[in-house]
Amino acid sequence: MRQYLLAVHMVEGQPVPSEAEIQRAYKAVDAFNQEVMESGAWVFGGGLLPPDTATVVRAQGGKVVTTDGPFAETKEQLGGFWVIKAPDLDAALEIAARGSQACGNPVEVRPFQDLPDAE
């Protein structure tokens, strides 16, 4: 089975959800996670702290440079993710739709590259 990354996007400028909405999302995501685990599609998942907690590490000219904040200047940042196993893209999209419903945010689906067989 192919592995897919389901990336949750946090969109800058969206209103901050109420505490009740946040708690609803936590419960819905917990239920979704349990469902994916029980189906055998679960590989790994996790939520991320806000982009302003990021540190970017760059190797430049033989030196390592670190800077605070996200690498990309964008209105959308990665808020969390799941790595799943699915037989095909259609199955991954169906799981992503349920994940988006649970967390209340857009979910991007991307397949992992196939790795050459190790010898």
Give the pLDDT confidence of 68-89 residue by residue, as tens digits: 877 667 777 888 999 999 999 9
Query: What is the pLDDT, as a whole number, of residue 11?
Result: 77
Q: How far is CA 107 from CA 62, 69, 94, 103, in A?
A: 37, 22, 11, 9
Query: How many distinct structural domains can be found in the chain?
Result: 1
Q: What are residue 5's DSSP bridge partners?
A: 83, 110
More confident residue, 71 or 22: 22
Q: Give me the mean pLDDT over the 38-65 stretch.
A: 92
Give the pLDDT confidence of 23-49 residue by residue, as tens digits: 999 999 999 999 999 999 999 999 998
Give the pLDDT confidence of 98-109 residue by residue, as tens digits: 999 999 989 999
Residue 75 lies in a domain: yes
Give the pLDDT confidence of 9-21 residue by residue, as tens digits: 887 778 888 999 9
Residue 119 lies in a domain: no
pTM of the model: 0.83
Domain of residue 66, CATH code: 3.30.70.1060
Residue 63 lies in a domain: yes
- 47-76 burial, b at 16+ Cβ within 10 Å, e below that, comes to eeeebeeeeeeeeeeeeeeeeeebeeeeeb
Q: Give me the mean pLDDT over the 60-67 stretch.
A: 92
Query: What is the pLDDT, as a whole number, of residue 119?
Result: 47
Phi (first) and psi of residue 9, to 5 degrees:
-100, 130
Q: 107 is in which domain, residue-wise? A: 2-111
Q: Contact, 52 vs 69, CB < 8 A?
A: yes
Residue 7 lies in a domain: yes
* Structure token pair of residue 8: 């949750």
More confident residue, 22 or 13: 22
Query: What is the pLDDT, as a whole number, of residue 39?
Result: 97
